Chains A and B, each alone.
Chain A
Amino acid sequence: MNYKQLVNKPQKLAPGHRSCAGCGFPPIVRTVLASTDSPIVASCATGCLEVTTTIYPFTSWKIPFIHSAFENSAATISGVEAAYKALKRSGKIPKDKEIKFVAFGGDGGTFDIGLQSLSGALERGHDFVYVLYDNEAYMNTGIQRSSGTPMGASTTTAPAGKVHQGKEEWKKDMAKIAVAHNIPYVAQASVHNPIDLSMKAEKAFSTKGPAFLIVFQPCQTGWKYPMEKTMEIAKLAVESKFWPLYEVENGKYKLNYKPSKNVPIEEYLKPQGRYKHLFRPDNKQIIEKIQQHVNEEWEKLVNLCRD
């Protein structure tokens, strides 16, 4: 799909929702939903996306939508998808009617509290797409650390202080966890590149069985940068190799984008208030550690893609 086709698709998430200015998930949701022409049913974890789009008596969802709880977006869509199979069998849904299923969750609801429900649904092989919008912390409750928070970022439950310098552990590699379920399709995408995201969402929807998309989504409130810089920061994450764009089809890795020049990690970290403390002279070694980690992970990924 090209940009023109993408913007001319029917809008399935209406404007007028209450997400922050500069928030990344509306374009993610719109792009994903635009990437299939089949009727689609969505489930959503409790979080920013859910609470800003469904404030009763309004809803931004022009498609059937269900929110059940924080940790069960995947289990909920399992039930919806199971109902689809059953009702097709009993003839309540026409045999030739194809419906697609998508579950949305943030990093907390996916990496952490919802991991079990997601793992169960992937293992059972339900035919659905899970979309993780990864803004790297519990943003809806006020920027608390999640296991998706990168090392060195300051959050309200792992704040930078005199002794501790923000989160002290590496970000959980969620894509690898998904890949380990031997599902047919896993991909990492980013909000700033809707064509790549749309291509991946299209593939995910056309895959029989579970597909998993992780979409990088800067959060201006939590990451502390000016609201107009969301796309720029997402792009920097990809250019600095912090957030590689790749996909894993039936276990086969493929790198989708190779930055043409070396962008040091500082360039990505610097515009973000959550990393401000790292730029103190005494924290220089943390940035070095992050750079080293990024390099190592990139090498590993490149090797996987070569195999």
Chain B
Amino acid sequence: MNKEMPLTGAQSVAHAMRQINPDVVAAFPITPQTDIMMNFAKFHSDGKVDTELVRVESEHSAMSCCVGASAAGARAMTATASAGLALMWEILGVASGSRLPIAMAVVNRALSSPINIHCDHSDSMGCRDHGWIQIYNETNQEAYESVFLAVKLAEKVMLPCMICLDGFITSHGVQNVTLHDDKQMKGFVRDYEPKKWLLNTDDPHTVGPLELQDYYFETQKQRADAMIQAKEEYLKIGKELARITGNEYPLFEEYQMDDAEAVVIVMNSTAGNTKAVIDKMRKDGKKVGLLKPRLFRPFPYKEIAEALKHKKYTAVLDRSESYGANAPLYAEIKSALYEADSKPKLKSYIFGLGGRNILEPDIEKVYDELLSGKFDHLETGYIGLRGE
């Protein structure tokens, strides 16, 4: 039976994990992810899951444990944030390179240094080229449902998948979340049935071999192909999930885009603030819209270019820097538009690093700037930065 209840994003993810009842979960605390594992551990202690919960001594071992478990034939999950994700970095590549469908919630948080516990996307952006599917989530509901989608998608294309949600904002903010029926969700993910698994000792195989010049390149091409395939599979599995949840799982969400002249592109929780700004500005007759990417890896270049082709002005709001280069989301959007016959004037903004608030007037200012047509599209804008 469906149940609507006030939950934090962390609790929502933990509930998804409870319903999935993974075979193995590796847990290590890191702010602001910890609440996911604390909630899941309670489910475990209360016997609501019969997961093998491994309380590892580091995130490096958390991912290593998931690699071992997944290769062994188990459905394996974990969650992390910030420095924890950075510590996993090497093993993230092992997971995707070994084609292991591990699912992991990433509660986005700034990276050191200086140390900061609040939200930005520098952690997951830092590993965007590591062969993990990345799904970004605006609300607690999205984060909850994405966990199911991620598990199924990962197992379909044999690539690991991260479910990204904003640290404290989403992970600790309470929203009403509809928890779908346990049985239905279990039925949706079904059991994991690997083709090759280490614990099938009658059919021994070697995982993680040495590949030299003669094979390594081909393996990487296969990994790249699987990632491309993930886009279609995401849509297919999303449609299947939509039949249960009634929600949609597009590559990106479009809000008031039909006649929009000025478009803001932003991921995760900030998209919510942007929608509020749009509602307000639309009342004043301003043609503003939002494009919210959900699937960041693989990146839907063609589809986004199509969605933006007749727009006049577009601003890309990145919650992470790429020092000495275009900001990550901006770089992708710019790249998507290169082949388009008609394209908007594009501007990059950086916002919210280390949890710096972004308020509705800040976003309104961006739209006003776009609509005025008087902006230097070559210069990066910084929203809410002192001294600007």
Contacts and interface: CB of A to CB of B under 8 A. Distances in A.
Interface of A: 39-41, 43, 50-51, 54-57, 59, 61-69, 71-72, 75-87, 89-90, 92-93, 99, 116-117, 119-121, 123-124
B58 A68 contact: no
Given A61-B206, A82-B74, 14 more contacts: A39-B202, A54-B209, A55-B209, A56-B209, A64-B207, A66-B67, A75-B60, A79-B69, A79-B74, A83-B74, A86-B24, A87-B73, A90-B50, A116-B57
Nearest to A62: B204
Contact of B72 (A50, A56, A62, A79): A79
A76 B211 CA distance: 20
B323 interface: no
A85 B199 contact: no
Interface residues of B, number: 44
A83 to B, nearest CB: 4
Contact of B71 (A66, A72, A78, A99): A66
Contacts of A78: 54, 56, 61, 64-65, 68
Contacts, number: 172
Nearest to B200: A64
Contacts of B211: 55-56
Contact of A86 (B23, B64, B198, B207): B23
12 contacts: A41-B72, A51-B210, A55-B210, A56-B209, A67-B207, A75-B64, A78-B64, A79-B54, A86-B50, A89-B52, A120-B56, A124-B56
Contact of B24 (A54, A59, A76, A83): A83
B68 A77 contact: yes
B76 interface: yes
A79 B24 contact: yes
Q: Which of A63, A82, A87, A116 has the most CB of B within 10 A?
A: A82
Interface string B192-230: 000000111110111111111001000000000000000
Contacts of B57: 116-117, 119-120, 123
A80 B91 contact: no
B218 to A, nearest CB: 10
Contacts of B124: none
A55 B205 CA distance: 13
B169 interface: no
A93 B52 CA distance: 15
Interface in B55-90: 55-58, 60-61, 64-74, 76, 90
B26 interface: yes
B58 A86 contact: no
A68 B208 CA distance: 6
Contact of A55 (B50, B66, B68, B212): B212
